[in-house]
Structures are given as C-alpha cells and as structure tokens.
Structure 1
Amino acid sequence: MEYFPNVKKVNYEGPKSDSMFAFHHYNADEVVLGKSMKEHLRFAVAYWHTMTQDGSDPFGNPTNIRTWMGATPMETARNRVEAFFELLEKLGVEYFCFHDVDIAPEGNSLEEFFANIDEITDLIKEKMDKTGIKLLWNTANMFSNPVFVNGAASTNNADVFARAAAQVKKGLDVNKKLGGENYVFWGGREGYETLLNTDMGLEQDNIARLFKMAIAYSEKINHKVQFLLEPKPKEPSKHQYDFDAATTMAFIQKYGLEGHFKLNIEANHATLAGHTFEHELNVSRCYNALGSIDANQGDVLLGWDTDEFPTNLFDATLAMYEILENGGIAPGGINFDSKVRRSSFAMDDLIIAHVVGMDTFARGLKAAAKLKEDGFFDNLRADRYASYQSGIGASIVADKEDLESLSDYALKNNEIKMESSHIEYVKARLNDYLV
C-alpha cells in the first residue's frame, strides 16, 4: 500500500516554484562553506509527532486523518513502519528518532512490551538495511505510563526505578541493534510537584545513578554511543531538574558525566525556560556540550509546548550560526520534534510541514554562512571588546592584575570613555542577511 500517493518524490525546484511538494531552498547537494547542505543539516524525522499524534488537544477530539490504522495495535504499529519509511524516502531525509512506546504498544506487561519492540525493530532494521536510512537517536518514554506519576529515576518507589532501568537497558540494546548514533534522556517527570514531600538530593543522586548505569552498560555491550540530555523547565512536571542548558550542565559537572553526555536543545523548551533558542545553543557551545537539536518553535503567547514546525527565519539563522560556530552538529542532527497544527489534518500535511521546516533551516544555513563569511558577528564583538586587546585590558585577560593594581589604575584614570553599541542599526543590518 502507498500511504502518500499524491507525492512521488520531493525535489528541489528553487524559490520561484509554487509547489507544496517541492523544496524551494533546500538543495541537498548544494555546497555551503565546503560541505553539502545534507551534511550540514543532518535532518531527522520524529516518529512520535509524525506517526502517533492524532490532532487532539485538551479541548477537542482527534482530527487527523491517518490511513495506517489497523484492526489491532500491532497491525497499526507495523503499518506505521511502512508509512514512516515511505515518508522518509519521499522527503530524502536520512535520519529518524523515536521513543520506545512510539513504535510498539506496551501490551499487558513489560515482557509483552519488549517482545513487541523486538518484532517492530526487526521490521525497522529491514527497512534501514534496504534504504540506508539511519537512527539518529532513540529514547525510553518514562513519563506517559501511570507508574511514572512521581518520576522515573527520581521516583520515590524503588520498583519504579527498576522499571525505568529495564526500559533504558532495552533502549540501549535496540540502539545497538539499529546502529544508533546517540541516545537521549528527556526527564519529563524528573522533577517535583511540591518540595513539601520531596528529597531533592536523593532524587538527583538517583538520576545520576541511572545515567552511570547506562554508561556502564553501553561499555559492557561494546556500544559507545553519545548520550544526550534534553533540558526543559516544566510541563508536565511543575519544576523539572533539567530546567535549561546551564542547569543541566551544572548537573553533568556535579556528577562527573562530562565526556559521556552532551545536550539536545529544543527551541520550544528554550521558550518555556524564558530564553531564546540561540541562547541555549550558545550556552551549550560554551561548555563544549552542543550535541543535537530538536527543531520546532513555540508561541510566546502560550505557556505550553506547542511544537510548531519552524518557520521563523530569524531564529533558524541564529541557530545555524551557532551550529556553524560549533564546527557542525554531528553525530547529532536537526530533528523535527514538530507536529502539524490541528487544522492541518490531511496525510499530505505531514510531507508539506517537513518541507517547510527543511526549507526554513536551509535558508537559515545560507544566511548564517554569509554572516560567517563576512565576519559580521566577529567584527561586532572585536570592536565591542577592543579595550581588552591592549593596555590594562590585555593585562587583565593575561591574569597579570589583582585588586590592588586595578584599584591604583582606577584612581588615576578619571576619564572613562564609553562607546555606543548602535544596536538598532546592528539589528537592521542583520535583517539584510535574511532576505
């Protein structure tokens, strides 16, 4: 069965094309700064929003029309694999990501769940071998099942902790089976509802214990994989321990996880934390911990995870600039953790939305490359921090000064000259790179 019969293959047709099923800006083989767009962008499709999201919201029933629904949960799961790889091939996307519960029903026991995972991943592996499509990362869903109501690794119940560990072990086995390049932890319930009955120290110690178990097991099965932590401040938990990039890096450093863990940064999570996407990427890069990104966008007027497909060129450009400054994103990628709007309920909207997201990041890449070639930000910063290139400033950064010497200097220096940033002009010039 063909699930997307209206689309044969999405090809690059250029910016003058008016086709919904063509790339207007993403040309996979176009070379930008010495690498093809495909190499720079490493696009991935998220299984959860693409294959399991039904268009429902807290105020309305499902709207999505999906032709892969079968008579049983396992028949639906098998059909989804067929449809998913058809979608990937028609988009020309080479990577994908999934949670364990996305691909296989949980059934009535953990044993049945794992058996279902084995059957579906056998089918996925056949498709991967046939198409050359690769697994960017997988993860265990340790937040949806009611047993995780009080967390997974941070739970107050040791039996639940053991259940979480079992899912992580299975996830790593699957990652090795499918040749995954990364493994993600997203602590959806790793936080607290109230501090009144919470032992925060024990909960965070236990999260670190699970992470160290994962590192040890990956080494035991001889599958060295890049582990990623994904920050998010809230929702579903009132307060999650991986609030933002800086908080998560503090956790990584406290428990000595550097060298094993980097960050998977999501745009919408940055919004919920009160940050910009480029801020979270820059913080990660400053710690040498930018591992991968989830490409979407939130709505600043709404206080929840809307996970819209990215269309904001300003944000995409600044995100791609951070990725270029990082020397690339591999072995991570740009995963579309995005869902179509409730009114975009047709099957073909899944293809259209990904085309739009890929075009947005392609435009962002080209604009960021031009900014980098022109030294736009480098020149701004060099001028702004010029006082540290000579004289007392150079002496400060060379660690040759102390409080006494600087006090002596300041007392003799009665005239401090300040320079305007002309920030409005800077933003106007930045706009010129976006069109």
Structure 2
Amino acid sequence: MALIGNTEFYKGIGEIPFEGKESDNPLAFKYYNPEQVVAGKTMRDHLRFAVAYWHTFCGVGADPFGPGTQNFPWDNFSDPLDAAKAKADAAFEFITKMGFDYFCFHDFDLVREGSTFSESEKRLSSIVDYIKEKKAASGVKLLWGTANCFSHPRYMNGAATNPDFNVLARAGGQIKLALDATMALDGENYVFWGGREGYMSLLNTDMKRELDHMGRFLATARDYARKQGFKGTFFIEPKPMEPMKHQYDFDAATVVGFLHQYGLQDDFKLNLEVNHATLASHTMQHEMEVAAAHGMLGSIDANRGDYQNGWDTDQFPNNITEVTEAMLTFLKAGGLQGGGINFDAKIRRNSTDLDDVFHAHIGGADTFARALLIADKIITSSPYNELREKRYQSFDSGKGKEYELGKLDMTDLYEIAKSNGELELQSGKQELFENIVNQYI
C-alpha cells in the first residue's frame, strides 16, 4: 500500500480487511463488510463511518487525576505547524488503513491555537491548505467540522450565551474561521456543540436573554455560511450537563423545541451521541425516535458510557443490544439525513500501544455493522413490524381513522366513550418484543 505521507506512523499494520465472523485476526473486520448490501444500500453508504480527530489524534489519555499516558510522535515537534502536519500525516494514514471514508474535527484539533486571534487564523489557514492535499491524495472526505468554543478559559461562562458581548464576538470570529475551514475542505455538514452554553447557577443567569442570544447566534452563523454557498446541514448535538450544571441543548426534545422557537428548523438537524443520551436518562433509541419523528435525525456520535458512572466516559461502542435497538429506529427512519457515524470515543487511559486504536475502531465498526444486520433481519423476517402495527390497528379504520383525520371533536369522543362501556385490556406484549430482539441477536 502506498503511504500518503513520507513517514509511516502505524508500522506493521496494513489495510484492515473484512474476514468474517469466523476470523481470529484481531486486525480484521468480522461484520463490517463495506460493500455488503443491507436494506437496499451498502454498509458503507448506510454507516458512513468517520474518525474523530480530537480523540484519536489529540486525546493522550489524560484524566482529572493524572497527565496523558499515550506518547504520540506528532506531539514531539516544537513548531506548531510541523506538529500539525505530522498529525495530519498520521490521521490520513490511519483513516485509509481503516478503509473509512470520512473524518471530522474541531478547529484547534488540526493545529494548536495561537497566542492571538490573528496567529490562530494564520495557523488554521496553513494547515487547511495542507489537509486539502491529504484529501486529494487519499480520497478521504470531511463529514463535518466544528469549533472548540468551550476549552479556553475565555469561554468559562459560555460562548454564544456569554454575558460579556466581547466574548460572544470572539466566539463568532472563531466560528467564522471554522466555517471557512469546513467549506474550504468541502465539508458536508457543520456541527454546533454548546459545551458551555448553559449555566452553573440560576442566581446569576438571565436564562431567557441567553437563549435569545444563542438563537440569534446560530441564525447569524447559518446566514454567513449560506451566503458563502454552503449547502450542507447544520447539526446541534444535545447534552444535558457536564461541563455545565445544566446545558441548554439538554436532549433531543429540548433541541427540537428550541429550533422551532427560533425559526431554525429548516436548516438544522440533530447530531446524537449515545453517551449523552445516557446522561440525559434516555436510551439512544429514544433520542433517535424523537429526532426521526420531527425529520431531524441527522448524524450520530458512536460511543457508550460506563453504566456504573454518571459521567461522559466516551468508550467505544460494544453493547450489541443497545446498538441493535438504535438500528431498528435507524432503518425505520430511512437512515441519517446528511450525516454519518463518527467514533466520538477514546481508548482507555491504560491502552498505550498504537495498535489499540485500531482494535477500538474495528470493534466499534463491527458492533454497528452487526447491529444493522440484526435490525434488518428483525424487520424483514420476524413478526416485529406486524406486532407493532397490530397495537394501533384501531386507528386504521372506523372512528379511530376519523380521529386521526381530525374529523372528531371532544363531544364525539364523549359519545363513543359512553356507548363503549368498560373496555378490555390490550397487552403491550413487551416481553415478546424483547424476546424477538434477543432471538435475532
């Protein structure tokens, strides 16, 4: 295999092949066969896997109790642009060896932020030019870009919701540059994650004013990008809390309501994360059902939480039941609208070998591919759909149908209730549905 750059970072590892579930090769896919057709599309087209720049090439295993444990060779350059170019070389080597089609990034994942706004702009412009060359040589595409408006101390009180206008303006300048970078790299979408758009205490917070500012800010960003010719979709990524006590993009339902409140529903959809769903006390299937019901199922951050810990652990997905249930909704909704499945997940602090990141992505891809196959079998070969439809059959004809068509008023319902008398209970058959899922797994 011809390398994209001059240095091989992941030595001894070639392109990851598909070898099937009987394979014992840890560096081979067991279920993810990119060209296999499932429900009318190839797995490649259904899943659109993307590698997350921030965890895979920037996350070094640090946690609140200690520094990083992973020593990336591209971090050993003193010059920030040399380091950024080496990181890009490693990134595109990894993505092409995995056989994935996409990557995604925050602005300062690509290159270290400068000491001034102007210096940051220069650095970002330079590395974007370099990554253009990497894209052209590899065929790898950009699923989406975003801006990190939450890590720097200036954003401790938020970005678009900051009570200081000058901080809001700085965030606007930074997001303009991130939008420009995304468009320059032919990004298909753009994501907003409100990492600190929320509050630590309501005692010092004017919530309505901050929500109004966030709505205006998103509309301003949209208008700028559209004027530059950007035709992609904007995504908002819900999360209930952490780092803030409460974040304004709490969950899918909250974000849907917010988008409609501020007239953003035609341009924005949702980028849903499994671990964020868990933190909001939802399942991922719940969040996807809410988004799909409103035509806003845009993209997915693939990971999982630790079910004994109440924080965002960003582990690689391996819960086949959890992902199968999500894939049932995925297929019923007709897939994602514009987005893909990015691995917003990091290897564990005590996983320190360079091949660990391959094992993690292989396992994550196989989990989603296997879940897709199972969900398709459940839909096409089991009584699953028939049982679901049977629960609502009273709305398919007669008075139930009239109600759905808006032809009955409250008096009509009263008369029907009066004439029906007492009703027989109708079982939800929950255990049967659960058994069907387990049977096909």
Do the structures match in fold with TM over 0.5? yes
Q: CA RMSD in A?
A: 1.3
Match of 1:430 in 2: 437
In the alignment, which residue of structure 2 is the partner of 1:199? Answer: 206
Counterpart check, 1:260 vs 2:267: yes
Separation in structure 2 between the aligned mates of residue 226 and residue 71 of structure 1, nearest angstrom: 36
Rounded to whole Å, the distance in 2 between the matches of 1:281 and 1:2 is: 39
**Residue 176 of structure 2 corresponds to which residue in structure 1?**
169
Q: Aligned-pair distance for 1:364?
A: 0.8
**Percent of counterpart pairs with the same letter?**
47
Give the partner amino acid of 2:350: S
Q: What is the match of residue 388 of structure 2?
A: 381
Alignment of 1:123-272 (within 5 A): 123-272=130-279
Q: Which runs of 5+ in 1 are unaligned?
A: none
**Could you give the per-residue CA deviations for residues 208-254 of structure 1, whole angstroms, max 9, x where no partner exists?**
11111111111221122210000000000110000000000110000
Question: Which whole-Å deviations, capped at 9, do the CAs of 1:309-348 have from their partners, x for residues lacking one?
Answer: 0001112112222222222225200000000011211111
Structure 1 residue aligned with 2:369: 362
Determine the structure 1 residue equivalent to 2:61.
55
Query: 2:378–2:436: 8 Å Cα contact kept in structure 1?
Result: no
Taking a change above 3 Å as real, the CA distance of residues 388 and 306 of structure 1, as seen in their structure-2 partners, is same
* Partner residue of 2:127 out of 120, 142, 147: 120
Show the counterpart of 1:71: 77
Instruction: After the TM superposition, list the runs of 4 or more consecutive aligned residues in structure 1 that deviate by more than 6 angstroms.
Output: none
Structure 1 distance, partners of 2:64, 2:222, is 38
Number of residues of Structure 1 aligned to a counterpart in Structure 2: 434
What's 1:83 paired with? 90
Determine whether 1:26 maps to 2:32. yes
Give the SS at the match of 1:346: coil
Kept in 2, the 8 Å contact 1:100–1:141? The answer is yes
Letter in 1 for 2:377: K
Q: Is the 8 A contact 1:10 1:90 kept in 2?
A: yes
> Counterpart of 2:70 in structure 1: which amino acid?
N
**SS of the residue aligned with 2:74?**
coil
**Structure 1 stretch displaced more, 111-120 or 404-413:** 404-413
* Mapped partners of 1:400, 1:159: distance in 2: 54
* Equivalent residues of 2:297, 2:337 under 8 A apart: no
Identify which of 321, 324, 345 aligns with 1:317. 324
Provide the residue aligned with 2:48 in structure 1: 42
- The Cα shift of 1:69 comes to 2.2
Task: Structure 2: give runs of 5+ residues left out of the alignment.
Answer: 1-6
| SS, match of residue 23 in structure 1 | coil
**Per-residue CA shift, 1:123-177, capped at 9, x if unaligned?**
1110001111000001010000000010000001111011000011111111111
My pick for the range that moved more, 409-418 or 23-32, is 409-418
- Give the letter aligned to residue 302 of structure 1: N
Tell me the residue number matched to 2:4: none
Q: Could you tell me which amino acid in structure 1 is paired with residue 19 of structure 2?
A: E
User: In 2, Cα distance between the equivalents of 1:261 and 1:225?
Assistant: 10
**Could you tell me how far apart the structure 2 residues matched to 1:376 and 1:115 are?**
59
Give the alignment partner of residue 111 of structure 1, picking from 115, 118, 122. Answer: 118
Separation (CA, whole Å) in 2 of partners of 1:35 and 1:245: 27
